[in-house]
Homo-oligomer: A and B are copies of this chain.
Amino acid sequence: MSTEPDQVETTGHVHGYTSEKSSHLKRLRRIEGQVRGLQRMVEEDKYCIDILTQVSAATKALQSFSLELLDEHLSHCVVEAAQKGGAEAEEKVREASDAIARLVRS
């Protein structure tokens, strides 16, 4: 629409990851499949070590997902807040640092 060309710009609620939405959903559906595969392995009494290998794979997949999300967040939200400067920049950096700490410790 000519009067409201881009909903995203008028509301400003677009997040860094929005453009990557379908790739994120694809990744998360694959992880969901891995978790369902784990349930099948437990049901079929698979060997514990093989289950553990699959848990490590799912954990790594979740980690990669979060690193990608964080990269997009830094590239968009944090960079934009930094350009505004002041309290908003500080707040976004603090928030990102807390998220990174949770990732590193999980």
Contact = CB atoms under 8 A, between A and B. Distances in A.
Number of identical monomers bound together in the oligomeric complex: 4
Interface string A71-92: 1111101111011010001100
A52 to B, nearest CB: 5
Q: Please report whether the interface of chain A is mostly helix, strand, loop or mixed according to DSSP.
A: helix
Given A52-B103, A69-B55, A39 B63 contact: no
Given A15-B45, A82-B79, A103-B52, A28 B32 contact: no
A104 interface: yes
Interface of A: 8, 13-18, 21, 24-25, 28-29, 31-32, 35-36, 38-39, 42-43, 45-49, 51-53, 55-60, 62-63, 65-67, 69-75, 77-80, 82-83, 85, 89-90, 93-97, 99-106
